[in-house]
Chain A
Amino acid sequence: MECSFGITGKGYTIIASDSNAARSIVKMKTDEDKQKVLSDHLVMTYSGESGDTLQFSEYIERNLRLYGIRNHVELRPRAAASWIRAQIADSLRTRNAYQVNLLLGGFDLPTSEPALYWVDYLGTLATVPFAAHGYGAFFALSTLDRYHRPDMSLEEGLDLLRRCINELKTRFIVDLGTFKVRVVDREGVREVKL
């Protein structure tokens, strides 16, 4: 029942995820942050098998940090996404593969372009203008198809995200509660209240 969204616009990427920690039918926590800030201009949302998500996201976070320290330069979003994809794809053919779905939102400084990558537990990497994981994808992708434009301002982008979440509120049987939202742009990563 987890759900995350990503939307790119003019010079920014919005990343949002629900904040429920649930086990079976029980809601354990409603203020869980299911995102990791990987570098100055890269954020990742993770969902999937609960033990795997934390283990994997911390592994990714620490390794990207190590790369930054060793090389005095952060990986660009595209490079980070390919490396993360390779980690999932390698793990897929082991006895206990990571069951983690990711959205990677970033801002590529050299080209001044926002970047968004959809990655699933099989190691499928898609470069997309907007994306969703979980049941939310079935409800929100058509809304995103209809209203998304690549030149949207940040306010328009956040309005579009509100529209998607509103769609879930009205049509999805589960209440996903509040969403944690982060924006990545030239200035870096910051949290935004919807």
Chain B
Amino acid sequence: MSDITTLNGGSCIAFKGKNCVAIACDLRLGNQALTVACNRDKVFKITDKTYLGMTGLASDVDTLRSAFRYRLNMYRMKEEREIEPETFAHLVSSTLYEKRFGPYFIEPIIAGLNSNNEPFIAAADLIGCLNFAKDFVVTGTASDKLFGMAEGLWEPDLGPEELFESISQALLGALERDALSGWGAIVRVITPDKVIERTLQSRQD
């Protein structure tokens, strides 16, 4: 229980679909078993078509969020274009590996569409070892339950609405069985022309 990566709780999941991707997270921020806030969004917008989810130590999530904002602004100014999700995944990886022997205690997942509108998802561990999955990625205190749900509910070539349905069911199902995650969820489905963002109700206990 005194593990720093599970102190605050929280979970994230991303699904790959057909010409679309979905990324979702719960809203809890806790301090061990005590819930401090129920409005903690763990997914951040990187570009119009790339999103980053971070779970783990909430302090490091905030620190890295501003670190990435700085690095992305520098990238944008130097390159005069938006970053590709593949490139961003490597930026995340190298940022985390910079602190190899005193790491940030977070595990990120990245979901986005690249400039050819091909779906891309990736996950990394706390020192930036990348995992380019072709179906789904999960992180957080409910990650073991999310693996089970995603394994059962994910199908290839889902459209935006079907993808929303399956990622929502996967996340809500996992949150039911994890005491450190929950208190509502936010799902974002990224399609070539828009991002569908929906807030889900879940059990408040």
Known contacts A89-B62, A131-B36, A137-B34; is A124 also within 8 Å of B102 by CB? no
Q: Is the interface of B mostly helix, strand, loop or mixed?
A: mixed
- Chain A: CB-nearest residue to B29: A126
Residue contact A128 to B37, C-beta cutoff 8 Å: yes
Q: Is A127 touching B62 in the complex (CB atoms < 8 A)? A: no
Q: Which of B92-112 contact A (CB under 8 A)?
A: 102
> B90 interface residue, CB < 8 Å from A?
no
Q: Which of B34, B37, B57, B66 makes the CB contact (< 8 A) with A127?
A: B37
Count of chain B residues near A, Cβ 8 A: 18
Alpha-carbon distance between A123 and B31 when the two chains are bound, in angstroms: 12
Asked if B169 CB lies within 8 Å of chain A CBs, one says: no
A18 sits at the interface (CB 8 A): no
- Is A125 engaged at the interface, CB distance under 8 Å to the other chain? yes
Residues A92 and B59 in contact in the complex (CB < 8 Å), given A118-B36, A127-B37, A138-B34: yes
Q: Which residue of B lies closest to A131 (CB)?
A: B36
Closest to A121 in B: B59
Chain B contacts for A92, CB-based, 8 A: 59
- From the candidates A120, A126, A138, name the one contacting B40 in the complex (CB within 8 A): A126
A120→B31 contact, CB < 8 A: yes
A88 CB contacts on chain B under 8 angstroms: 59
Inter-subunit contact B36/A85 (CB<8 Å): no
Please report the C-alpha to C-alpha distance between residue A124 and residue B34 in the assembled complex, in whole angstroms: 14
Q: Bin chain A's interface residue count.
A: 10 to 19
Establish whether residues A124 and B39, one from each chain, have CB atoms under 8 Å apart when the complex forms. no
Residues of A near B63 (CB, < 8 A) are: 86, 89, 123
Which residues of the other chain, B, contact A128 by a CB distance below 8 angstroms? 36-37, 39
- Distance A120 CA – B32 CA, assembled complex (angstroms): 13
Which residue of A is nearest B58, CB measured? A124
Task: Verify B59–A123 contact, CB threshold 8 A.
Answer: yes
Interfacial chain A residues near B35, Cβ < 8 Å: 141
On whether A125 and B62 interact (CB within 8 A), knowing A93-B102, A137-B34, A141-B34, the answer reads: yes
Does B8 reach chain A (CB closer than 8 Å)? yes
A21 lies within 8 A of chain B by Cβ: no
Can you list 15 contacts pairing A with B, beta carbon distance less than 8 Å? A89-B60, A89-B62, A89-B63, A122-B57, A123-B59, A123-B62, A123-B63, A124-B29, A124-B31, A124-B57, A124-B59, A124-B62, A126-B58, A127-B37, A128-B39
